Amino acid sequence: MRLLRRFLAGRQNWIGLGIVGIFLVIALAAHFLSPPDGTNIFYPFLKRSAEPEEQQSSPQPPSRDHPLGTLPHGFDVYHALIWGARDALRLGLIVATGSAALGMVIGAVSGYVGGSFNQFVLWVTDSFLAFPIIAGVVLFRSLLSISMGSGPAADAPSPIQWLFLTLRLDPVMIALILFSWTRYARLINANVARMKALPYIQAAKSLGAGSGRVLLRHLIPNAISPAIVLAARDIGGMVMLQAAFSFIGVDGGSPWGVLLANGRAWIISPSGNLLEYWWVYLPATVTLVLFGIGWNLLGDGLNNLLNPHTVHRKLW
């Protein structure tokens, strides 16, 4: 409770909690805020096919039926923002949790074992750090398309395709996890390598504690604080990275990124006015920025809470 009170004492923590809470409420209440029409095959986009074709070819301004206007071809901006919050939270939480768990296990085990094994793991970690994430995204998209096969057996999903469809995974999510664990591994590895020589760890070993117990009960709980801070910040960062991939056409998994990509031709109107079609880029941009700011504020608050140097400085 004392840690909670200390966390809630910061104004920026309240702002971060408020922003993240708003996105959480939007994601949970998406069915009420923007109900699907039951025939929508463009999830999470809602296409207003009843509009005349000449109106669907260009963005339409906000109206009673479209609170934030429409993109070309009649896609509702408000509907995509609401349902995109659910996809953003899902991707951010899965990627941050998966990356943190993988990195903490690898970093803790290698730091505890030490020696040549630790050097090898750090070499592999540095290799992953040098590999660009966008190349990993392209690689996994290619592997998924190959796994779907062709010919008479094309209708039968392969094991890889079945796994992706069952878990609702996409290549960007897998690539982000497999190429983001390295920072967590580095953090935990350095902390465990430093802490394993401390007296209380030696005392636990002398009392008969095995390696697994020492790692799970003593080392990881005391070395995990920086990873928690990094994971909180990564939730917003990974969503913005996925939106960037969607915007440049590498992936179409981010509804907010797809909004920006589909409306980029109208950011500057034919008359040269930047604000004439403001709804094709401003709502999605503000949403992405607020999502990233909210999680970064939470990360900063957790850093101030869990960083012993910060706590010591505040106490004095």
How do residues 125-156 score in pLDDT, each as one tens digit? 988 888 888 888 888 777 666 544 444 444 56
The C-alpha atoms of residue 289 and residue 240 are separated, in whole angstroms, by: 8
C-alpha–C-alpha distance, residues 226 and 191, integer Å: 9
Look at residues 242, 256, 103, 239 and name the one whose alpha carbon lies nearest to residue 172. 242
Helices 255-263 and 282-306 pack at an angle, to 10 degrees, of 140
Let me know if residue 70 belongs to a domain: yes
User: Does residue 213 belong to any structural domain of this protein?
Assistant: no
Give the pLDDT of residue 253: 76
Of 70-79, 138-147, 153-162, 272-281, the poorest mean pLDDT is in: 153-162
Q: Which domain holds residue 241?
A: 2-49+61-115+185-197+224-315
Q: What is the pLDDT of residue 250?
A: 80
287 within domain boundaries:
yes
Residue 190 is assigned to a structural domain of this protein: yes
Q: Considering the domain boundaries, does residue 212 fall inside one? A: no
CB of 227 closer than 8 Å to CB of 299: no
Beta carbons within 10 angstroms of residue 132's beta carbon: 9
Q: How far apart are CA 194 and CA 204, in angstroms?
A: 16
Please say whether the beta carbons of 273 and 94 come within 8 A. Answer: no
Q: What is the mean pLDDT of residues 81-109?
A: 92
217 pLDDT tier (thresholds 50, 70, 90): confident
Quickly count: other Cβ atoms within 10 Å of residue 163's Cβ: 14
pLDDT band at residue 209 under the 50/70/90 scheme: confident
Does 109 reside within a domain? Answer: yes
- Residue owning tokens 């941009």: 285
Residue 211 is assigned to a structural domain of this protein: no
- 17 found inside a domain: yes
Q: Considering its fold, how many domains does the chain have in total?
A: 1
Report pLDDT digits (tens) over 186-199: 999 988 888 888 88
Q: Is 209 left (phi over 0), alpha (psi -120 to 50) or beta?
A: beta
Is the pTM for the entire model greater than 0.75?
A: yes
At residue 37, what are phi and psi to the nearest 5 degrees?
A: -90, 0
